[in-house]
Amino acid sequence: MSGQWWRDAVLYQIYPRSFADSDGDGIGDLPGITARLDHVAQLGADAIWLSPFYPSPQADFGYDISDYESVDPVYGTLDDFDAMVTAAHSRGIRVVIDIVMNHTSDEHPWFLESRSDRTNPKRDWYIWADPAPDGGPPNNWLSAFERCGTAWKLDAATGQYYLHSFTPGQPDLNWRNPDVHAAMHKVWQFWLDRGVDGFRIDVAHRLMKDPQLRDNPPEVAHARRHFSHPVVRQRNLDLPEVHDVLRDLRVVLDGYGDRFALGEVPISDDARLATYFGGDGMQTAFHIAFWEQPWDARAFRRCIDGLVARTRTDALPTYALSTHDISRTVSRYGIEHAPVAAMMMLTLRGVACVYYGEEIGMADAPPALEQDVDGRDGQRTPMQWDATGGFTTGNPWLPLAADQHVVNVAAQADDPGSLLNLYRRLIAYRRGSEDLRRGGYVSLDSPAEVFAYRRGDLLVALNFADHPVAFDVPGDAAGRVEVSTRLDREGVVSMRPLELEACEGVVLRLSVENLPGQNLPGQNLPGQDAAEAAP
């Protein structure tokens, strides 16, 4: 566990409600996670990231926290949490937890005090405003959830509106109040003192709002996230002052040694997204656009190259194919494309994040209408451990997918050609490869169906097409296969042309003296320091 471990890390996201149930109540819990940590270790992941497990009325499945310093009884106890951290660390696995700093639950004691009276000392811990002259919301800000409409809710008892960037059950904290800042300091320290290795910061770009509560300009008034408006800014997110909060968090983290922060920053402007990571704030942030691309090699190339061009040389984004909010890879792209998608995510220059079940090819399994609570339940179904499910001895909180008898860990564990074992091979190779851990990134000319790039002395070639593709790779006449999505691909292969089967990805070792793109005048690869880049 050396310094800056996160720079070449593979994170494994666990949705606690759906990973493993230890007590038969049908809901996953912390002891269940502890019991399944060997799976994470065998996969080769460096850390687990846990979605919220705090006490919550579940207005937004745990992202509405009513107590920052405890565990919801449905998931266990603080002792269970401590035992899980100890068990993870004993396996060399770090523990990263979700922290929701933009808002609390409307049942949090802070908010109950705040809404009790306009003169309460905690009134200014949240964002309150008088109605507009017509009695309506104070301004035109919108909730991030379309179903919620306005971002304001009238509190009849006190005659003012409070701001909620998400559901009405999630009132926004007022980060301009130093008391809020101090209170959250204690929350960070509480979990760091318990051995947590870092935080995933929920909606990090929303922490500050316009102090005058001015309307959003007409050009962006309809937007529920930040889009690419170089001049026109929304006034309820992505304000410059957000970075002051994130810098302060970084100071606290650095005081605990090798800890880190991963940001969720849904901003589509690459230049603005790049300001959120790699400096003196959060170490890394999700490249949100990565999981929004169609299955098209050119689209992914544009997406990756665009952010690389705007990112400081030592900064690393985080790549994920899906999350608890994003439909699973198999459902978006098809099972036949899952191996290439996995190779892409795990060979790009950045942190990689695997959502539980992606490694076995789980698909979305939307529940029946009467069981659907959230609209995102299809990608949150229980982990498929064996042919009977293996998740719980009781009735699972959501039904398992119909394919659980074939798509499960037990069925794939000993099959060399399984998706699970491809993930294991890729992660093991990534861990042992200096080129993937520290090398730069340069995308290479290739046919429209192929996304090809160089990582140090390696060539990664990904055929997105459902048919074979052949193309000449400039430079070397041949390369040695290091990893392939095909078990029968090995040894030295020709590069003139390089022949890729349908839906095939391959990592090739090239000779340094004939590397494609080598020794280009003035080339300075992302991640190289001045000494490496100097002629």
Please identify every residue annotated as catalytic.
Answer: 202, 264
CA atoms of 389 and 404, how far apart (whole Å): 6
Q: Which of 398, 367, 368 is nearest to 383 (CA)?
A: 398
Structure tokens at 73: 């009884």
The DSSP 8-state label assigned to residue 321 in this structure reads: S
Exposed (0-12), middle (13-18) or buried (19+): which is 158, by Cβ within 10 Å? Answer: middle
How far are the Cα atoms of 211, 213, 227, 306, 334 from residue 219, in angstroms, in the given order?
A: 20, 17, 11, 24, 37
Asked whether the bond before 317 is cis by omega within 30 degrees of 0, the reply is no
Q: Which two tokens stand for residue 386?
A: 């064996």
Q: Are 353 and 290 within 8 A, CB to CB? A: no
CA–CA gap between residue 485 and residue 358 (Å, rounded): 16
Neighbour-count burial of 313, counting CB atoms closer than 10 A to its CB (0-12 exposed, 13-18 middle, 19+ buried):
middle
- The C-alpha R_g of the chain, in whole angstroms, comes to 24
Q: Is the CB of residue 68 less than 8 Å from the CB of residue 54?
A: yes
68 near 114, Cβ under 8 Å?
A: no
Give Cα 419 distance to the centre of its chain.
21
* Burial classification of residue 467, based on how many CB atoms lie within 10 Å of its CB (0-12 exposed, 13-18 middle, 19 or more buried): exposed
Rounded distance, CA 139 to CA 130, Å? 10
Region class of 203: left (phi > 0), else alpha (psi between -120 and 50), else beta: left
The answer to whether residues 29 and 74 touch, using CB atoms and an 8 Å cutoff, is yes
How far apart (Å, rounded) are the C-alpha atoms in residues 460 and 306? 18
